[in-house]
Amino acid sequence: MDIIEITETDVNMYLSYLMQKECSHSYVNQTISSIKFLNEHVLHKLKLTVYVERPKKERKLPNVLSKKEVKSILASLQNR
């Protein structure tokens, strides 16, 4: 299939596949933006309508060391 022949349905199916594959949210968002840019600015086609909702940014808690882990790290230092 030639890139010019790719339809909105093809794009939506690919994005749905990425969501099912559990790719990171930033990866899917970057993919959507890249496809839109390619379509509008490189191929000069009409504005692409993407029917997949952009995933929201993941909120992850930072890893926090326990008191025991901090003591272990400090105890292992040779140059105080």
- DSSP state letters, 14-58: HHHHHHHTT--HHHHHHHHHHHHHIIIIIS-PPPPP--SPPPPPP
Q: Is the pTM of this model over 0.95?
A: no
Half-sphere exposure of 80 (CA within 13 A, CB side): 3
Flag residues of the chain having pLDDT under 70.
1, 48-58, 80
- What's the pLDDT at 35? 85
Instruction: State residue 54's pLDDT score.
Output: 66
- Dihedral Cα 28, 29, 35, 39, nearest 10 deg: 150
